[in-house]
Structure formats: structure tokens, C-alpha cells
């Protein structure tokens, strides 16, 4: 029984990590006022770049780095179009997702059906062998630890550092931040790139750890869930952990119940995580003050320096 519970928890961690990684990046971008709907596309590019480099070099470190860079390149395209040329962020982000889906399929066509080893897991002699605590706390791969480190880091950055305060100022009132002399566009570029890198890592988790194989469109909508999670968390980093693990558990549990023998129509199972997303968003939106308190006031609004 305890073995079954341990492996259930391990499975949930695996389902949740890509969501948490991608959502953490998007949270920073949104806090700076950039709404990048291209998370799904950036994740896919991250997944395919990480996988390709893993196949070619066999190095997990290089593969993870390549995934982050791949996500950043996609984010850069978004930033140039929407921050540089001031195109509307919503369609630009949507286009980025569609573009990323197609491009990753093209790049990845030669990698379908190739096998690579899974990302190595930490093994601390002694500690990793403790029942439950061992495999759960001391037996994960680097990206799982990174996902938690990133949440703490982002929280510290946003709430305890001067640079984070400036980033939030840019997201809340770009005109005021500009008037004081902060480089609004440059800050948003950096935040967007960070978002891209994290989405890329989320994608790499899919192709290197979740499955250790590449398949077209393998993120299967997780980028959209990550976007919703940022709203779910009302832009607060620690709530992302709650959200990501809640959704990871729902995604996994919807399959688990079938195995127990409960007759659930399989289309309903596929729908469940998204249904949960919609429900949670509706519930959260009822609390208008909390949204208003935390939502970056300039979210999605283009910045004209001249104004």
C-alpha cells in the first residue's frame, strides 16, 4: 500500500513539473506586463531542441541548456514583434503557439522514434533508500529540483529585491516607470526571455523525463494550462506550486480512476483537466478584489515611449 502511494506521488510529481516550470516563467513575464500566449509553442520548441541535442551529444546538461535557449529564441521572436514593433500581444502570442507547433514538428520529424536515456535521477546513498521520503525528496531529476528552486527564486526576486520591485513597477504602470527613468522595454524583453527559457525547460521535461522521446505536439495543451495557472495563482509564485500540483494530480487521477474500474467515458477524461481549468478560473474571477490587487495593471498593454 505504501509502495503504491509512493509511486502515486511520484507520478503526480512527473505530471506537475512541466506545468510548474512553464507557469513560473510566464508569471515573471506577466508581472512585467507582457501577456505571452505562446507558452505552448515555446514548450514544444524547448522539447524538440532539448531532445535533438540529447540525441546528438548524449549530454543531459547540454540538452537542458539547449531547451532553455530554444524557448528563449521563440520568446525573442515574440518580444521583437510585440515589444519592438508594438504588435498586439494576444494575436502575436497565439501565432507563436501555432508557429512553434509547426516548426517543432518540422525540426523533430527526424527524431520521431529515436530512443534516448531518461534524465538521470539523483541518488544519495542511504537517503534515497528511506521509504517514501527517499524517492520523493532525494530521488528526483535536476529539473524537478529546479522547478522548486525557480519558484523560491522568483518569489525572492519579485518581493524582496529591488530589481523585482522595478519589474513589478513596469508591469503595473509602464508610464510611471518610464518617467522615473527605467528602461521599460528592456526589462520586458528580459522578463519575456526568462519566460521563454522556463517554458523551454518545461518542454524539455516532457521530452527528456516525462517520456524520453519526441512526438509531434507532445505537450498536448499543457502550455495553456500553465497560462491558466498564472491566473489561478493570482500572480503569486507559491500559489503556482499549489495550482501545478493540483492540476498534475487531476491529470493523473483522471486516468487512475479508470484503472480502478470506474467507468468514465474516455473523452470526459481528456476533458477533465481543461474543465477544471475553466471552473477554477471562474471561481477565482468571482473575487474581483484579489485579482485587481495582484494583476499587473498594464498586462498586455503595448508601451509607447513617446506617450
Partner 1 sequence: MTMDRRTFNKLLGAGAFAGAAPALIGRAAAAGPVKAAWIYVGPVGDYGYSYQHDQGRKLVEEKLGDKVKTSFVENVPEGADTERVLVELANKGNDIIFATSFGFMNPTVAAAKRFPNVKFEHATGYKRAKNLATYNIRFYEGRFVQGVIAGHLSKSGIIGYVGAVPIPEVIMGVNAFLLGARSVNPKIRSKFILINTWYDPGKEGDAAKAMIDQGADVITQHTDSPAAMQAAANRGVKAFGQATDMIKFAPKDQLTASVDNWGPYYVDRVRMVIDGTWKSTDVWGGFKAKMLEMAPFRNMPDDVAKAAQQTVDDIASGKILPFKGPLKDQSGKERVAAGSSLPDDKIASMDWLVEGVEGKLPS
Distance in angstroms (rounded) separating the CA atoms of residues 34 and 81: 12
- CB-based burial of residue 35 (10 Å sphere; 0-12 exposed, 13-18 middle, 19+ buried)? buried
- For position 306 contacting partner 1 by CB under 8 A, the verdict is no
- For position 11 contacting partner 1 by CB under 8 A, the verdict is yes
The residue written with cell numbers 522595454 in the block is: 185
- Taking the least distance from each CB to partner 1, the nearer of 4 and 306 is 4
- For position 259 contacting partner 1 by CB under 8 A, the verdict is yes
User: In whole angstroms, how far apart are CA 8 and each of 132, 137, 208, 260?
Assistant: 11, 14, 20, 13
Among 57, 88, 266, 285, binds partner 1 (CB under 8 A): 266
User: In whole angstroms, how far apart are CA 238 and each of 84, 148, 159?
Assistant: 32, 9, 12
Residue 36 CB contacts under 8 Å (≥ 6 apart), including other chains:
26, 29, 30, 42, 75, 78, 89, 93, 96, 192, 195, 196
- For position 7 contacting partner 1 by CB under 8 A, the verdict is yes
> Among residues 40, 106, 50, which one has the least CA distance to residue 74?
40
Q: Which of residues 118-137 bind partner 1 (CB under 8 A)?
A: 118
- For position 2 contacting partner 1 by CB under 8 A, the verdict is no
- Taking the least distance from each CB to partner 1, the nearer of 8 and 155 is 8
Among 22, 39, 199, 206, binds partner 1 (CB under 8 A): 206
Q: Cell triple for residue 17?
A: 513539473
Among 124, 268, 290, 305, binds partner 1 (CB under 8 A): 268
Helix (H, G, I), strand (E, B) or coil at 24: helix
Helix (H, G, I), strand (E, B) or coil at 212: coil
- Taking the least distance from each CB to partner 1, the nearer of 15 and 92 is 15
- For position 269 contacting partner 1 by CB under 8 A, the verdict is yes
CB of 214 to partner 1, least distance (A): 9
- For position 63 contacting partner 1 by CB under 8 A, the verdict is no
- For position 294 contacting partner 1 by CB under 8 A, the verdict is no
- For position 142 contacting partner 1 by CB under 8 A, the verdict is no
DSSP structure string for 161-182: -HHHHHHHHHHH-HHHHHHHT-
Among 138, 148, 182, 252, binds partner 1 (CB under 8 A): 252
CB of 127 to partner 1, least distance (A): 21
What are phi and psi for residue 68, nearest 5 degrees?
-65, -45
- Taking the least distance from each CB to partner 1, the nearer of 15 and 36 is 15
- Taking the least distance from each CB to partner 1, the nearer of 34 and 208 is 208
Residue numbers at the binding site for partner 1 (CB under 8 A): 4, 7-8, 11, 14-15, 109-110, 112-113, 115, 118, 206, 210-213, 215-216, 218-220, 222, 251-252, 255-256, 258-270
Amino acid at each position: 500500500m505504501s509502495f503504491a502511494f509512493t509511486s502515486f506521488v511520484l507520478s503526480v510529481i512527473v505530471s506537475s513539473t512541466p506545468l510548474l516550470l512553464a507557469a513560473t516563467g510566464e508569471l515573471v513575464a506577466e508581472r512585467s506586463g507582457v501577456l505571452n500566449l505562446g507558452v505552448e509553442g515555446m514548450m514544444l520548441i524547448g522539447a524538440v531542441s532539448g531532445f535533438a541535442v540529447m540525441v546528438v551529444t548524449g549530454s543531459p546538461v547540454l540538452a537542458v541548456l539547449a531547451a532553455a535557449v530554444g524557448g528563449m529564441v521563440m520568446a525573442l521572436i515574440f518580444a521583437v514583434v510585440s515589444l519592438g514593433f508594438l504588435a498586439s500581444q494576444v494575436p502575436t502570442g497565439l501565432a507563436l503557439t501555432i508557429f512553434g507547433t509547426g516548426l517543432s514538428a518540422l525540426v523533430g520529424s527526424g527524431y520521431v522514434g529515436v530512443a534516448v536515456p531518461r534524465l538521470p535521477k539523483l541518488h544519495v546513498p542511504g537517503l534515497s533508500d528511506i521509504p517514501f521520503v527517499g524517492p520523493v525528496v532525494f530521488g528526483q531529476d535536476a529539473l524537478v529540483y529546479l522547478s522548486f528552486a525557480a519558484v523560491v527564486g522568483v518569489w525572492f526576486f519579485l518581493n524582496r529585491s529591488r530589481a523585482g520591485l522595478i519589474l513589478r513597477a513596469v508591469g503595473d504602470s509602464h508610464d510611471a516607470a518610464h518617467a522615473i527613468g527605467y528602461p521599460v522595454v528592456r526589462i520586458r524583453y528580459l522578463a519575456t526571455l526568462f519566460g521563454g527559457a522556463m517554458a523551454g525547460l518545461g518542454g524539455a521535461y516532457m521530452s527528456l523525463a516525462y517520456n524520453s522521446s519526441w512526438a509531434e505536439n507532445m505537450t498536448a495543451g499543457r502550455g495553456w494550462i500553465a497560462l491558466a495557472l498564472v491566473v489561478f495563482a493570482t500572480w503569486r509564485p507559491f500559489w503556482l506550486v499549489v495550482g501545478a500540483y493540483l492540476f498534475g494530480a487531476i491529470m493523473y487521477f483522471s486516468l487512475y480512476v479508470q484503472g480502478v474500474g470506474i467507468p468514465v467515458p474516455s473523452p470526459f477524461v481528456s476533458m477533465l483537466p481543461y474543465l477544471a481549468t475553466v471552473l477554477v478560473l471562474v471561481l477565482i474571477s468571482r473575487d474581483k478584489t484579489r485579482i485587481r490587487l495582484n494583476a499587473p495593471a498594464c498586462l498586455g498593454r503595448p508601451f509607447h515611449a513617446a506617450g
